[in-house]
Structure 1
Amino acid sequence: MWLLFAVAMCTLAVTSSLWAQAKKELRVAAAADLQPILPGIADRYEKATGVKLLVSFGSSGNLATQIINGAPMDLFLGADFVFPEKVVAAGLADGTAPTQYARGTLVLWARKDSPLQPISLDSLVDKRVTAVAIANDLRAPYGQAAVAALKRMKMYDTVKPHLVVAENIAQAAQFVESGNAQLGLISLTAASTPRFQAEGTLVRVPRSVYAPIMQCAVVMKNSDRRAEAHAFLDWLLKPEVQASLVPMGLEPVR
């Protein structure tokens, strides 16, 4: 009898330990523009709190669709307002509206060894250009911003035959870095990494030619880690953390 009791208590202790460990992990679906910077942010947060972020990257549109179709996530960090709002509209968010955590910036980037250097926005219509990388404008907010900017600058008809459409903004950055595209309309987060700074140059696209990239987040209503997800989002919005986003290519909202 005592043996059975001891075994039961050990089983309970192990189960409780595993549950506690699981509570220290957050499943995060994150927009691809965060791929260069979120691992470092996650490391800082884990050191400060002991909570580990398990991150899946992708285009905001694909991630929203996966969440709506039942993908188990605790937090969705999108690259705009629209796709997180779709999660809210589906009744899956813990709240009535997405929370903005940053603002993104669109840039034109080219390798330093490109014959197009020094680049300008007019480089997009240079006759030597045969490949311009952008993210998919149906699923990626930075792709939508790129198409909007090209149309607003009256360059779209000229550039359209040369567009190389990537699945997400991280892949678009890879295309131009690898030389598979001569130019890329990519996120400032990608262009701000040490590697991209060393290998290329950028020109900021005027914000007057594309809608604001208001990067928003939602916590999942059915998550058993809602409190932890809200705690991370609150931490991300702290003034000192917001200020640290600037060198990484994001504009703070606070």
Structure 2
Amino acid sequence: MTRLTALLSALCSAFLLTVAAHADEVQVAVAANFTAPMQQIAAEFEKDTGHKAVLVFGATGKFYAQISNGAPFEVFLAADDATPARLEKELLTAPGTRFTYAIGKLVLWSAKEGYVDGKGEVLKKGEFKHLALANPKTAPYGAAAVEALKKLGVMEGIQPKFVQGENIGQTHQFIASGNAELGFVALSQVFKDGKVTSGSAWIVPSKLYAPIRQDAVVLAKGRNKPAAIALVDYLKTDKARAIIKSYGYEL
């Protein structure tokens, strides 16, 4: 081994030790619709920074209640912009850290090929027993689904067929398992790299529901945590944004 090679090896080892010494964990509450992209982003984040993101997925409304009651989350990726803004007003966030990381899209989806047509006419025909959607009181995608059904003028006839999931993840499971023939989920759950990955779907026109702006924020418990700040900054990188876009979100 030459002296230069030995020196480079020593410097590399020192660098790795420094990274390891400063690596940390950050506790992250993540809206269920963002499960797949966030798992991918977290893996890249750990690879690039040494920090580990410990992810918990669920409904935005439930996370609000948990954070308000002292849950140990340090970063929150919500399915809306209203909940992080509310936490900000209640002084439960690190000032100046809230931003929109994605704009979500609603999709009517069935695990069955050819079941959902390209114009959503299946809703007007009503020839199904169950339609799944997330609880509109706690999940923004559920609220968007109700808004769309009302604008389509089919809410009254379909409401008795509702099967409500606790969050959008459970809603997807209801449909994937066949317990509901179809339902409303986040496009990101059934979309990757420009196409719907399984079943049949109708991407609900954005004019039928208010924009689903999804905000991220560093919570009060993470204000002095380098890993928390690093994660929020990482979500703004080209690499993270490319992953987000690949799941059908707008930026």
Normalised by the length of structure 2, the TM-score is 0.85
Give the letter aligned to residue 230 of structure 1.
I
Q: Distance in 2 between matches of 1:208 and 1:175?
A: 26
* Change in 2 beyond 3 A, CA 1:66/1:227: same
Aligned positions of 1:142-181 closer than 5 A: 142-181=141-180
* Change in 2 beyond 3 A, CA 1:21/1:98: same
Aligned positions of 1:26-65 closer than 5 A: 26-65=26-65
Partner of 2:120: 121
**Aligned residue-pair number:** 232
1:234 aligns with 2:223: no
8 Å contact 2:41–2:243 — kept in the other structure?
Answer: no
Partner of 1:4: none
8 Å contact 1:28–1:55 — kept in the other structure?
Answer: yes
* Change in 2 beyond 3 A, CA 1:225/1:250: farther
8 Å contact 1:74–1:225 — kept in the other structure?
Answer: no
| Aligned-residue CA RMSD (Å) | 2.2
Partner of 1:90: 90
Counterpart of 1:80 in 2: which secondary structure? coil
- Give 1:183 deviation, angstroms: 0.9
Aligned positions of 1:205-216 closer than 5 A: 205-216=204-215
- CA-to-aligned-CA distance 1:190-239 (integer Å, 9 cap, x gap): 11159x94531221100001000000011112336533212211111123
- Give 1:241 deviation, angstroms: 2.3
Normalised by the length of structure 1, the TM-score is 0.84
Q: Percent identity?
A: 36
Q: Distance in 2 between matches of 1:103 and 1:127?
A: 29
The gaps in structure 1 that reach 5 residues or longer are 1-16
Counterpart of 1:37 in 2: which secondary structure? helix
The gaps in structure 2 that reach 5 residues or longer are 1-16
Q: Distance in 2 between matches of 1:193 and 1:176?
A: 18
Partner of 2:11: none
